[in-house]
Structure formats: structure tokens, C-alpha cells
Amino acid sequence: MALPLTCSPMASPRRLLQAAGEGNLPLFKMIARTMDAGKGRLQETVEAVRDCGNGALHIAAGRGNLWVCAYLVEELRVDINTVDEESGGDTPLAYAVRGGGVNTVWYLLDHGANPDISDNKGSTPLHLAAARGNCKIVKALLLKGANVDSLCVVWTQAQVHKAIYSKLQEGTMKDLWSHLGDSNDVFNIVHTPLTMALNAGSLECVELLIKAGASVNGVGTEAPLITAATNSLTNFYKCLLDAGADPHVRDNFGHLPVEIAAYNNRWKDVEILLAVTSPVPYVHDWSIDGVTSYAKSVPAAVEDYIIYRLKPNDLKLAGDKAYIGEDYVAAIKCYSMVTLQFPDDATLYLSRSLCWLKMGKGDQALKDAQICTIMHPE
């Protein structure tokens, strides 16, 4: 909480922050001196001024006001890594990244800003830059040693499976598709900078991150190749596959990238992925037409699937039963369905991690284990 400060209306804490945002350094200095009232404690006086957690350096960095930043960092020596605790846990560097100021980002990094300090959801400046497709800032952060595989939790609109589940619980599929766009249901996905860049559709950022050593098989909840297939990123497959991405990785419901591409009617994507994916026994015709026909046949009978009719507690029990019976694919589907209803239940991710491990899918087992760690660091 900011310290109470008394001063004239023209030299108020609010006016000080406005000057920082406007980049008016002479006015900022004058107001700071007036507020300090000759006590010789300019640093403490300025650092005490906050607006919903934002300090002068946060605001100046976000607006790209380099001269104000330089005065605060070099002359007043304010904490360059100070955290905006009331609004989300961002540092001045995160504000600079959001503002898109490349020069400001470089200045802060060169003067000791830590590129790996995360906000309350685990987002680092690299996540923010990758999500915006800002390659210049991504490159700057990587050159300064940012963790290329850091994890953050993103809240997003519920997927089709959640909507299907809800409608089946109501006993109807009527108007399902019209409801999807208005759904306020959310669940959490753990992203890496690489999956952020993929969702932003920035091939240059993706290539930069891979060159810096980003895991192409994913350490979040979704493998990069799954993200590429879901978003129909045809031009992204080559760099991912060349870097060692596994075309046999599955999403949380057991779908291969090639199946996702086929369902989305992306024939070129199917052609690329089919060439590197080993045939699976449940698809009898391992061809573009055969895989597409199979992918299209699955959702058509979705209302008949018993799994979508079960309540969460029953689904969890069904998953446990399937695990005991060594039917790990069925267990994973059950646990995944429950996570859509209860995304904060760490035991679900732990159970699913064990299933992946039993199936020899170490990378996916690790991803779910890491989600547990994020939820319960202790």
C-alpha cells in the first residue's frame, strides 16, 4: 500500500504519475521535489506513489518514456524489478513488453531487469511478447537469457467438448452451435512461449524460440503440433517437425494432429502430417480420404457416446476403473472430461499423468505433472 503523502494539488501523487505517463521529465522532477519537501528522500517519495499497484516506473515503461525511465533507474535508483502486486504482479519490463517499446525493453534489460519474473498467472515477459508476435522483443529477451520453456496459466473460452457435455446433461443438442460463441465457461490451459507464438500465428517468433531451444513436444497442457493442427497453421509444420516434434502426440481427448487436421477439412495439412504419422489400427484406410472419413464419423455419433452422458463424479470413477483395467486411453478421456468441469482439481492431472506414463508417453506425463506443480508448488 502506498504511503500517505500531503502536498499541493499541483504536485499531487496523481499528477506525478501523469507526468511519468506523459514523458514530461522536467515536470516529473519538479513534482517529486515538491512532494519530498526538502527531506532528501526522493527515491522513497517516488516509490511510495502507486495507483492500483502501478508505480511511476511501470507507467513510464508502458508508455515507452525512456528519459523518465532513465531518471528513475539511474538517478533515483528505484527498484527496476518492482512488482505491481495489486493489479496482477507485473514488473516494469512486462509493462514495456505490453506497450511494444523495443528500446524501452532493451534499456530495462541492460540495467538489470529480470526477464523471468512472472505475474500472478505465471506469465513472463517472453509469454507476453510471443503472444503478441513481437519478434524484436522476443529476440531481445532470448538474448538476455529468458527461460524459453516457462509456463503460464491462460483462461480461455471452453471448447466444443465442454458445450457438448453441458447440452447432453440437459438432454438436448438443440441450438448447440449458436450457444458456443456466447459461452462464458472457462478453463485453464498451461502455455509455453512457443504455444503462445503459435496461437499468435507468428512463424518468425516460432523459429526464434525453437532456435533458442524451446521444447517442440511441449511442456504445457498442449503440444505445439496440436496447436498448429488446431489452428490450421500449414506453414508451421516443417519447422516443428524438422526440430523433432512428435506427430504421434495426442491431445487430451486422444486425437492425433492428423485427425484434427482432417476434421478441420485441411487437406494440405492432412497430406503433410499423414506422411510422417504411423498408421493406427482404428483407421482402416490410412489415406487422406480414409483419415478424413474417420475423423468426420466420430463427432457425428457424439450424442451416443456414454462418456458424454456421465456426471463428473461418475466420470472420475469410470476413469479410475479404466485405469485399474489398464484401458489408459479411456481413463484419459474420462479425466479430461472432468477437467472441463473442475479445472482446478490437481488430482485429475496427476491421474492423467500416470496414464500417460503407463502408455509410454513421457512428455505428456511430464506436462500434466507440471500442472500439478503449478497448482500446488509445495
Cell of 75: 538517478
The band of 17, judged by pLDDT with boundaries at 50, 70 and 90, is: very high
Task: Output the pLDDT for position 197.
Answer: 93
Task: Output the pLDDT for position 296.
Answer: 80
- pLDDT for 300-351, tens place per residue? 434 334 555 567 788 888 889 888 888 888 888 888 888 777 777 888 888 9
Conformation bin of residue 97: beta by default, left when phi > 0, alpha when psi is -120 to 50: alpha
Q: How many Cβ atoms are within 10 Å of 116's Cβ, its own excluded?
A: 14
The band of 18, judged by pLDDT with boundaries at 50, 70 and 90, is: very high
The band of 261, judged by pLDDT with boundaries at 50, 70 and 90, is: very high
Report which of residues 337 and 137 the model is more confident about: 137
The angle at the Cα of 249, spanning 247 to 255, to the nearest 5 degrees, equals 105
Mean pLDDT of the chain: 82
Task: Output the pLDDT for position 189.
Answer: 63
Mean pLDDT of 94-120: 95
Establish how many alpha carbons lie within 13 A of residue 260's alpha carbon, considering only the half-sphere containing its beta carbon. 23
- The terminus-to-terminus CA distance of the chain in angstroms comes to 28
Task: Output the pLDDT for position 10.
Answer: 54
Task: Output the pLDDT for position 228.
Answer: 95
- pLDDT for 169-223, tens place per residue? 444 334 333 433 333 333 456 788 999 999 999 999 999 999 999 999 866 567 8
- Give yes or no for residue 1 having a pLDDT over 90: no
Task: Output the pLDDT for position 219.
Answer: 64
- For the entire predicted model, the pTM comes to 0.73
Mean pLDDT of 145-160: 68
Report which of residues 13 and 236 the model is more confident about: 236
CATH of 1-114, one of 1.25.40.20, 1.10.260.40, 2.40.30.40, 3.40.50.2300: 1.25.40.20
- Give yes or no for residue 145 having a pLDDT over 70: yes
Task: Output the pLDDT for position 96.
Answer: 97
Rg (the chain; Cα; Å): 25
- Most confidently predicted of 54-68, 153-167, 187-201: 54-68
Report which of residues 318 and 289 the model is more confident about: 289
DSSP tag of 277: S
Beta-bridge partners for 154: 189
The angle at the Cα of 169, spanning 166 to 172, to the nearest 5 degrees, equals 90
Long-range contacts of the stretch 247-252 (C-beta < 8 A, 24+): 247/273, 247/276, 247/277, 248/277, 248/278, 249/217, 249/218, 249/223, 249/225, 249/361, 249/363, 249/364, 250/226, 250/361, 250/364, 251/222, 251/223, 251/226, 252/221, 252/222, 252/332, 252/336, 252/339, 252/352
- Give yes or no for residue 4 having a pLDDT over 80: no
Report which of residues 327 and 242 the model is more confident about: 242
Phi, psi for 183 (deg, rounded to 5): -65, 135
How many helices, marked H, and strands, marked E, lie in the chain?
22, 2
Task: Output the pLDDT for position 201.
Answer: 93
Q: What percent of the chain has pLDDT over 70?
A: 82
CB neighbour list of residue 122: distance below 8 Å, 6 or more residues apart: 150, 151, 152, 153, 190, 374
Mean pLDDT of 110-132: 92
Beta-bridge partners for 183: none
Report which of residues 292 and 153 the model is more confident about: 292
Domain ranges within the chain, ordered by starting residue: 1-114, 310-378
Report which of residues 29 and 167 the model is more confident about: 29
Task: Output the pLDDT for position 309.
Answer: 59
CATH of segment(s) 310-378: 1.25.40.10
Task: Output the pLDDT for position 62.
Answer: 96
Q: Do domains 1-114 and 310-378 have the same CATH topology?
A: yes
Residue with cell 510471443: 130
Task: Output the pLDDT for position 221.
Answer: 62
